[in-house]
Amino acid sequence: MMDLRQALRIFFKFRRGLLGDLCRCAARSLAVYFEALTGKDLVPGIIAAVQTFGGRINFHPHLHFLVTEGGANRAGIFHRIPRLDDGRLAEAFAREVLRLLVDRGLLSPEWVERAAVLERGGACLGLTAFAAVRADNPSSGAPALRILSS
């Protein structure tokens, strides 16, 4: 699951067309992450679903993903990746989402930079995500990717 911090959800509430872009951000972040791990340009297998409500029937846009444990290169050869580094994947997703919002003129680059400096200093502005990989179904034998937010 790839989720947005509450501070960023408002941008998607009244611009529902951005939800498709959010899905593409998640797919790009996975591809970038896989390339960083393997040094190869890989295309992961992805099945994605957008959900716009939370457990309290509140507006809570997030993505549910089924992702292969690796990707195919241009020759069609599948390469497995080692265990996911949750923090690096979450950072890649956050960068893609912030880039989307800046490109659409919804956030200024200066605001994003100031917020990043504050977050590195310990302030929690809700601009980053955190991740955890766990086996949701031990009988499946494959870990499920979950990027969660608070």
**pLDDT at residue 142 tops 70:** no
Average pLDDT in the 56-81 region?
A: 88
Provide the pairing of β-strand 78-80 with 59-72.
antiparallel
Per-residue pLDDT tens over the stretch 111-120 = 888 877 666 6
Answer for the pair 93, 29: CB distance below 8 angstroms, yes or no.
yes
**pLDDT at residue 12 tops 60:** yes
Per-residue pLDDT tens over the stretch 29-56 = 889 988 988 899 999 999 888 888 877 7
Burial class (CB in 10 A: 0-12, 13-18, 19+), 150: exposed
Among the listed residues 2, 76, 66, the one whose alpha carbon sits nearest the alpha carbon of residue 43: 76
Structure confidence at residue 8 (pLDDT): 83
At 7, is the secondary structure helix, strand, or coil? Answer: helix
Among the listed residues 12, 47, 134, 36, the one whose alpha carbon sits nearest the alpha carbon of residue 92: 36
**pLDDT at residue 5 tops 50:** yes
Q: Hey, CA dihedral for 49, 44, 74, 99, is it positive or negative?
A: positive
For the chain, the residue count is 150
